[in-house]
Structure 1
Amino acid sequence: MKISIERGALLKAVAQAQSVVERRNTIPILANVLIEAEGDMVRFRATDLDIEIVDDAVAQVERAGATTVAATTLHEIVRKLPDGALVTLTADSAAGRLTVDAGRSNFSLATLPKEDFPQMASTDYQTSFTATVPVLRRLFDKSKFAISTEETRYYLNGVYMHAAEADGEKVLRCVATDGHRLARIDADLPAGAADMPGVIVPRKTVNELRKLLDDDEGSIRVAVSETKIRFEAPGVLLTSKVIDGTFPDYMRVIPQANPRRMEVDASAFAQAVDRVATVSSERSRAVKLLMEDDRLVLSVNAPDSGAAEEELPVAYGDERLEIGFNAKYLHEIASQVDRENAVFLFNSAGDPTLMREGNDPSAVYVVMPMRV
């Protein structure tokens, strides 16, 4: 195999590949990227057995062929080459080496046989649909912060994507929760998605998918089965197993009738929470909210480190309420708001609090209170 490829195109492909491979693994081939050259295209494939990424790039193929090489090492080399460089990759299967040439730079890397590279089993997808990049980006960006990192509750270690109903309309919905906070984000249901099985998309897959959603234009083809999900963008194919588990009935924890309403400038609120939390104890990061007569007082009292207080003007006309939250959870939820105002709906100091983005019902957040 011998190919010549522009450094930018090569960097984009190997960057995606090296982020999928596992740094520590007992199977050496899983640290490698499979490079396949034919015609005027070169294909880069990487997997950790749960996720597979395939990236196609245009190249000048002098000699067709395939080999595998350490993804992280190749990425580091290409990253450090000058912009605009033309990179030549030459594989010598007999010697088990791949040479990387760019200008006066020359590298020789060990390879492993392409026959050893695992292929992800093919799947018949029950449902496929097309969604625009902005829609998918909003669904996952606004929900992923609430994914649980607790491995014992593995079924919470991802975003639950499914077709649901809201106000009599069918929607495409993403939900994530860790038991302390919850995000539920809706979008118009794309054509063909009505019968999709509900799937839990793993955290790592969500992070890899995000790299495909940087452009403001374009669409992604999504295919779903009971065990896998596939995202297809121009030149890139991301396939992932889904989490084998049952997502809990999240509707039971979303308050339906919290009567006390507070409306506040979302940006000012997030910044104020961040400021007063500076002196909170690392363990609890507790912040107290006191609301009465159109004013909100945020306060932190940490005997070991100090105290802080900040007042904000709000729209609040109900009876006085004091309630405490984990500052990190409150800040993360408030930071999701795209609109000018955030609306908080409270019941009591011991009940879950609901937050919306203004009057938009398509983004709903729940946060559990804590004693302060």
Structure 2
Amino acid sequence: MKFKINNANLLQGLGRIQAIVERRGTLPILSNVLIKATSDGIILAATDLEVGVVSTHPAEIEQEGSVTLAAKKLFEIVRELDEDDVNFGLEDGTRVRIECGSARFSLLSISPEEYPTIPGGEGVTFVELESSLLAEMIDRTLYATSSDETRYNLNGVYMELTDENRVRFVATDGHRLAKIDKTPPHPVAFLENGIIVPRKGVSEIRKLCDETDGPVEIGLGEGFLIVRRPGLLLSSRLIDGEFPNYRQVMPSDFRIRLVMDRDRLTHALRRIALLAHERSRGFRFVLEKGGLELSASNPDLGEAREILPVDYSGDRFESGFNARYMLDALSAMTSKEVLIELVDELAPAQLRPADDADYLAVVMPMRM
């Protein structure tokens, strides 16, 4: 194997896989990147057995072949190189020579035969989606996924097709929920039965969207969701579990509806949260005629209280919520105003952009 590649192109490809390769896994090969020199250019592949990425980069190929190298160390080396082009050559079957200007490196390689196969797009039917649409749906839901590994079925985003042929993303950690519906230009039939994509896979898909102008293609393989664009393919293993019936926790028959300036509420809540208890992050939400009082207390620090004017003339309403959960829901919106819908003191609060019915967030109440 022998080739020359542009330093910037190689650095971009290596940078993309840093969040995927394992640092100290049980399989040493998973800390490596698979490098293939082919007639089509250089192929970089990396996987942690949950998420895999394969990218193609132009290069001058003198001799085809494959090696695996320590992904993090190779990235650190390439990042420090000054010249435009980097030369790679396999020396004795176990070492790879790297040359750039006057710099010389020799890295050990693990046999590429040991590298796991990354699912490709063979036999998969793909559907085109705008990367901006996919990015928006991820931004509105990913924050609500659970990090509790014992509740593995909540450790990802649930994706399904609604009865109206809209694509729906839902995420919940049991304390809050986020849901968004969008109408794609093409039917996404493979979501008819619903799938759960792990949080890490969704995060990597979001990064792919940032790198893409225009559409991407998504498809469902055997236990994997695959997203691709020219020169890049990303696969994410699905969570083998049943997503809870999220419709049961979504409130209805609202008694109170408030429309508030989202930025003003967000900034006030951030100030109040400074004195919320560090573990529970709880704050009081009290509605009285003409005003919304937000307050929090911490026995070790003190108290905070702020009143915001609201168009409300009903009876006193008092509940408690987690400040971080409420702020996450507000931050996922881009609208000027937020609609807050309430049933009673013991029911969840529902938040949605005042001008957009496609997205909503639900925050469970807490005892204060």
Distance 1:246 1:226, change over 3 A: farther
Asked if the contact 1:163/1:189 (under 8 Å) is kept, the reply is no
What is the 5 A alignment of 1:25-36?
Answer: 25-36=25-36
Checking the alignment, whether the CA contact within 8 Å between 1:123 and 1:228 is kept in structure 2 is no
User: 1:314: how far off?
Assistant: 2.8
Q: Note the C-alpha offset of 1:79.
A: 2.1
| Residue correspondence of structure 1 range 117-156 to structure 2 within 5 A | 117-120=115-118, 127-156=125-154
1:258 aligns to 2:257 (yes or no): no
Taking the aligned partners of 2:200 and 2:44, their CA distance within structure 1 comes to 19
Amino acid at match of 1:138: E
**How far is 1:264 from its partner?**
1.2
Given candidates 171, 188, 207, the residue that maps to 1:176 is 171
What amino acid is aligned across from residue 201 of structure 1 in structure 2? V
8 Å Cα contact 2:255/2:344 also seen in 1 = no
Secondary structure of the 2:96 match is: strand
Verify the 8 A CA contact 2:165 2:187 in the aligned structure 1.
no
Contact 2:144–2:177 (CA<8 Å) still a contact in 1? Answer: yes
TM-score normalized with structure 1 length: 0.94
In structure 2, the partner of 1:60 is 60
For 1:106-255, list aligned pairs within 5 A.
106-120=104-118, 127-165=125-163, 169-196=164-191, 197-215=193-211, 217-225=213-221, 227-255=223-251
1:106-147 per-position Cα deviation (integer Å, ceiling 9, x unaligned): 221111111111113568767531100111001111100000
Q: Which moved more, 1:67-76 or 1:312-321?
A: 312-321
C-alpha distance in structure 2 between counterparts of 1:220 and 1:26, whole Å = 33
Q: Retained in 2: the 8 A contact 1:172–1:190?
A: no
Query: Cα RMSD (Å) of the superposition?
Result: 1.8
1:331 aligns with 2:327: yes
Contact 2:335 2:355 in 1 (8 A): no
**TM-score between the two structures when normalised by the length of structure 2:** 0.95
**Number of positions where the alignment pairs a residue of Structure 1 with one of Structure 2:** 367
The code of the aligned residue for 1:193 comes to V
Secondary structure at the residue paired with 1:344? strand
Please give the alpha-carbon distance, in whole angstroms, between the structure 1 residues aligned to 2:165 and 2:137. 15
1:329-362 Cα offsets, whole Å, 9 max, x none, are 1111111111101111011111111111113111
8 Å Cα contact 1:129/1:190 also seen in 2: no
Consecutive unaligned residues in structure 1, runs of 5 or more: none
Aligned partner of residue 279 in structure 1, secondary structure: coil
> Which amino acid in the other structure matches residue 240 of structure 1?
S
Deviates more, 1:288-297 or 1:234-243: 288-297
Tell me how far apart the structure 1 counterparts of residues 104 and 254 of structure 2 sit (CA, whole Å): 66
User: For the residues of structure 2 that align with 1:123 and 1:234, how far apart are their CA atoms?
Assistant: 12
Q: Distance in 1 between matches of 2:123 and 2:312?
A: 50
Q: How does 1:313-352 map to 2 (within 5 A)?
A: 313-352=309-348
Instruction: Give distance in 2, aligned partners of 1:93 and 1:109.
Output: 11
Alpha-carbon separation, structure 2, partners of 1:35 and 1:126: 25
Q: C-alpha distance in 2, partners of 1:110/1:303?
A: 57
CA distance in structure 1 between the partners assigned to 2:264 and 2:113 by the alignment: 57
Letter in 1 for 2:17: A
Farther-moved stretch of structure 1 (19-28 vs 152-161) = 19-28
Partner of 2:90: 91
Structure 2 vs 1, CA of residues 48 and 78 (structure 1 numbering), >3 Å: closer, same or farther? same
Q: Which amino acid aligns with 1:89?
A: F
Specify the SS of the correspondent of 2:76: helix
**Separation in 2 of the partners of 1:87 and 1:260?**
64
Tell me, yes or no, if the aligned pair for 2:121 and 2:226 is still in contact at 8 Å: no
Q: Please, which runs of 5 or more residues in structure 2 have no aligned partner?
A: none
Summarize deviations over 1:63-110 as a string: whole Å, max 9, x none. 22111101111111122334x63222222243x111222223222111
Rounded to whole Å, the distance in 1 between the matches of 2:291 and 2:299 is: 26
